[in-house]
Chain A
């Protein structure tokens, strides 16, 4: 039997199922930083209106504009997972990748001059694990196919506006 390369994954997100428990932030920061550190989490749950929680993290756009925008080639694409990998040695924290991202997803580490971008935990994302074990399933793993994932790279404000209309009614949008 010929060994087949593992299929790349994508984290599907159903924002209206997010409970706002932020256990994804805990799991992510603990895995990457060894501490509970919400602001150093690669996934951050925005709550611009109570009850409208938006887990905000990299969608791995098909054309990777952030990687393109990096002036020092600190960003690369993982062959195995398709995740954006940050070379923390060469990253200068210039922030060009944030501007290039249609959802302004990346953010600078609160203490180090280095950008934070979801690396899919090497193919076994901890955020999905805690979200699924709790049965919320706001985050689930699907096989990455040739699809339009970039549509999901949007700012928390944009996503909140849509969700507010869906959950609370159009009138609630004026509060954002």
Chain B
């Protein structure tokens, strides 16, 4: 099939074995690449023993997969996956940057990393040359220094080992910070200082393999496509639309920190105790006027360039460099911690980047801890002496460092909000799950559902196969551009959703896929075929779960308890979600996608999709849920 390099690179870090494998065309037609292909590979290789596999053990696989759209559809990304240490299922976690492009130019559609190195290593790929290199000298370094050191070092190695005439450009690098090294379940796989594959916790999987970084330089062209003129024509259309989308281009998602509070009452504030604020001092104009040194920053091929670079040049946060921050981090490292200072938000965002933590999950678990402190359940002595008061940026910065290094209370919080809630509840003899704003091990993104002015579907997080992931929520009808099946296509074709938002032709993505691969695909084929297969497979693996946590759909396919409390402030004060409404909507969604009334994929649907082995594996889940 066109648009693919045609092979994957497999690296076993236990043995040092390196080999190339091909993927059957039939599999690619259904599972595409990225998230879909990752799910299929994980099922085929680990499915039989899925519930016993420790995500942080050597038997887990760590996948870095492009898709056919990578490098062609504007906005380059790569999908990181594996068994997730957050939900024990599969999460397709994409991150922007040039890694996917370099990888395809090197001749590979993706990487499968297995085993566990004895000592810290990094991998350098130059076209078909692959080296596993010692990483003791960079183990422990923060994100900025890791990138800086490896950029220099890899260029030097390439100059020496692969002499060419002319300068070597830098390779693309994916890496982990200290959090990933320390197996923190809310650690990211990072790129370019500020980019992160956040959801899933794959930084910890990378750390468990003692893999600090992967650098890749490909000198070939992107693979051939079926119809280059059509690809270029559609690219023009996407770009033209993006250029007209002034909101995204000019501010990225950075207007959200004020807007989603003031206008839609859907922003997490003090661990979601409120979702409304009218703090004009936290407006995007402050970020723009005070910190932005670059107003348009983006990744390979992107017409939107929604990122902005913020730098603090003086004062107590001097030296902080990060992007935007975007809405999610304005919320989770700002309002959710009671912080309404743009300076403090930029500082915390930069710190989180450097530590290799996920801004969303870390802000979620720190907000959770702060609410327990507010309620007197956790005291300063439980928090290594930290008085975790809302708005205290130094206190939260200290706590973030403790989480990344698993020191003191950080050891508990490093496991993410759900597991931390279980542990704290056990130690204190109090049920603290009502304060945990998470779904099946994944802290929910910063879009509330109570006001119904932002995310409108009250079952969206509860039924998502990626749980709290705000970029992959359940939505009906299934062919809606915002449905999870469509997200799966973006994450499997592997390209940026921001360049598809509100495209006048919603089938453009399918036309694009067809122009690249030469395989005709329509929306209705996708939602009845490949897309649905991937959804069912992800669902099945999520339900199989294990080994430390398993999910019961009747309990766990639900919103966080907080979402059933009425909103307490703002124009939407008093709005509430009824449990009965959620139950009804859930049933409707189960029916639409082909899950039975318990939320388990139906036999006849699985059989029709050719997933008989999945059906067999789900037998025990059906029994457990009877």
Give residues in A with beta carbon < 8 Å to B.
Answer: 16-17, 19-23, 26, 29-30, 33-40, 44, 46-51, 56, 93-95, 98, 104, 106-108, 110-111, 115-116, 133-136, 155-156, 167-169, 171-172, 175-176
| Alpha-carbon distance A176/B155, docked complex (angstroms) | 12
Among B72, B164, B193, B243, point to the contact of A108 (Cβ < 8 A): B164
List, in ascending order, chain A residues with CB within 8 A of B152's CB. Answer: 176
Assess A39 versus B218: contact at CB under 8 Å? Given A19-B297, A136-B296, A167-B294: yes
Among B98, B293, B298, B323, point to the contact of A168 (Cβ < 8 A): B293
| Alpha-carbon distance A56/B224, docked complex (angstroms) | 26
Report if B311 contacts A (CB, 8 A).
yes
Report whether A156 and B303 are in contact in the complex, using a CB–CB cutoff of 8 Å.
no
Report whether A39 and B148 are in contact in the complex, using a CB–CB cutoff of 8 Å.
no
Among A21, A48, A133, A136, point to the contact of B300 (Cβ < 8 A): A21
| Smallest beta-carbon distance B366→chain A, Å | 26
Report whether A38 and B165 are in contact in the complex, using a CB–CB cutoff of 8 Å.
no
Report whether A169 and B311 are in contact in the complex, using a CB–CB cutoff of 8 Å.
yes
B278-308 Cβ-contact flags toward A at 8 Å (1 or 0): 0000000000000001101111111101000
Report whether A133 and B243 are in contact in the complex, using a CB–CB cutoff of 8 Å.
yes
| Smallest beta-carbon distance B543→chain A, Å | 39
Report if B571 contacts A (CB, 8 A).
no
Among B105, B192, B309, point to the contact of A39 (Cβ < 8 A): B105
List, in ascending order, chain A residues with CB within 8 A of B193's CB. Answer: 50-51
Please give 20 more A-B residue pairs, beta carbons under 8 A apart, in addition to A39-B105, A49-B147, A56-B167: A17-B294, A21-B305, A22-B98, A23-B301, A36-B221, A40-B221, A44-B169, A47-B192, A49-B151, A51-B309, A51-B321, A95-B165, A98-B165, A107-B167, A133-B239, A134-B243, A136-B296, A167-B294, A169-B319, A171-B319
Report if B166 contacts A (CB, 8 A).
yes
List, in ascending order, chain B residues with CB within 8 A of A98's CB. Answer: 165-166
Assess A21 versus B299: contact at CB under 8 Å? Given A39-B169, A48-B170, A108-B164: yes
For the complex of A and B, list the 6 residue pairs with the smallest distance between their C-beta atoms, beginning with the closest.
A107-B166, A95-B165, A37-B221, A175-B148, A110-B219, A35-B221
8 A Cβ contacts from B22-73 to A = 71-72
Report whether A33 and B298 are in contact in the complex, using a CB–CB cutoff of 8 Å.
no
8 A Cβ contacts from B95-154 to A = 98, 101, 105, 144-145, 147-148, 151-152
| Alpha-carbon distance A40/B166, docked complex (angstroms) | 12
30 residue pairs bridging A and B, Cβ less than 8 Å apart: A19-B298, A20-B299, A21-B299, A21-B300, A23-B301, A29-B221, A30-B232, A35-B221, A36-B221, A37-B220, A37-B222, A39-B105, A46-B170, A49-B151, A50-B147, A51-B193, A51-B309, A98-B165, A98-B166, A107-B166, A108-B164, A110-B220, A116-B166, A133-B243, A134-B243, A134-B305, A135-B243, A135-B296, A156-B167, A169-B313
Among B194, B222, B311, point to the contact of A35 (Cβ < 8 A): B222
Report whether A21 and B298 are in contact in the complex, using a CB–CB cutoff of 8 Å.
yes
| Alpha-carbon distance A135/B302, docked complex (angstroms) | 13
Report whether B192 and A38 are in contact in the complex, using a CB–CB cutoff of 8 Å.
no
Report whether A172 and B298 are in contact in the complex, using a CB–CB cutoff of 8 Å.
no
Report whether B105 and A134 are in contact in the complex, using a CB–CB cutoff of 8 Å.
no
Assess A175 versus B145: contact at CB under 8 Å? Given A48-B151, A50-B192, A156-B167: yes
Assess A19 versus B221: contact at CB under 8 Å? Given A38-B101, A95-B165: no
Among B151, B165, B296, point to the contact of A93 (Cβ < 8 A): B165
Report whether A167 and B311 are in contact in the complex, using a CB–CB cutoff of 8 Å.
yes
List, in ascending order, chain B residues with CB within 8 A of A50's CB. Answer: 147, 192-194
Chain A interface mostly = mixed
Assess A19 versus B164: contact at CB under 8 Å? Given A29-B221, A35-B221, A175-B145: no
| Alpha-carbon distance A168/B154, docked complex (angstroms) | 23
| Smallest beta-carbon distance A147→chain B, Å | 25
List, in ascending order, chain A residues with CB within 8 A of B194's CB. Answer: 50
- Of all chain A residues, the one with the shortest Cβ separation from B164 is A108
| Smallest beta-carbon distance A63→chain B, Å | 21
List, in ascending order, chain B residues with CB within 8 A of A17's CB. Answer: 294, 296
Which of A30, A39, A104, A110 has the most CB atoms of chain B within a 10 A radius of its CB?
A39
| Alpha-carbon distance A95/B224, docked complex (angstroms) | 30
Among A19, A106, A134, A175, point to the contact of B166 (Cβ < 8 A): A106
- Of all chain A residues, the one with the shortest Cβ separation from B155 is A48
| Alpha-carbon distance A147/B294, docked complex (angstroms) | 28
| Alpha-carbon distance A29/B98, docked complex (angstroms) | 16
List, in ascending order, chain B residues with CB within 8 A of A38's CB. Answer: 101, 105
| Alpha-carbon distance A171/B357, docked complex (angstroms) | 24
Report whether A19 and B296 are in contact in the complex, using a CB–CB cutoff of 8 Å.
yes
8 A Cβ contacts from B196-235 to A = 218-222, 224, 228, 232
| Alpha-carbon distance A111/B105, docked complex (angstroms) | 13
Assess A104 versus B170: contact at CB under 8 Å? Given A35-B222, A50-B193, A134-B239: no
8 A Cβ contacts from B152-175 to A = 152, 164-167, 169-170
| Smallest beta-carbon distance B413→chain A, Å | 28
| Alpha-carbon distance A170/B264, docked complex (angstroms) | 41
| Alpha-carbon distance A159/B220, docked complex (angstroms) | 27
8 A Cβ contacts from B317-351 to A = 318-319, 321, 323
Which of A38, A49, A106 has the most CB atoms of chain B within a 10 A radius of its CB?
A38
Among A94, A135, A172, point to the contact of B321 (Cβ < 8 A): A172
| Alpha-carbon distance A155/B168, docked complex (angstroms) | 12
Report whether A46 and B239 are in contact in the complex, using a CB–CB cutoff of 8 Å.
no
| Alpha-carbon distance A38/B454, docked complex (angstroms) | 40
| Alpha-carbon distance A37/B164, docked complex (angstroms) | 17
| Smallest beta-carbon distance B459→chain A, Å | 37
- Of all chain B residues, the one with the shortest Cβ separation from A103 is B167
| Alpha-carbon distance A37/B145, docked complex (angstroms) | 29
| Smallest beta-carbon distance A30→chain B, Å | 7
| Alpha-carbon distance A169/B297, docked complex (angstroms) | 18
Report whether B169 and A26 are in contact in the complex, using a CB–CB cutoff of 8 Å.
no
| Alpha-carbon distance A156/B167, docked complex (angstroms) | 9
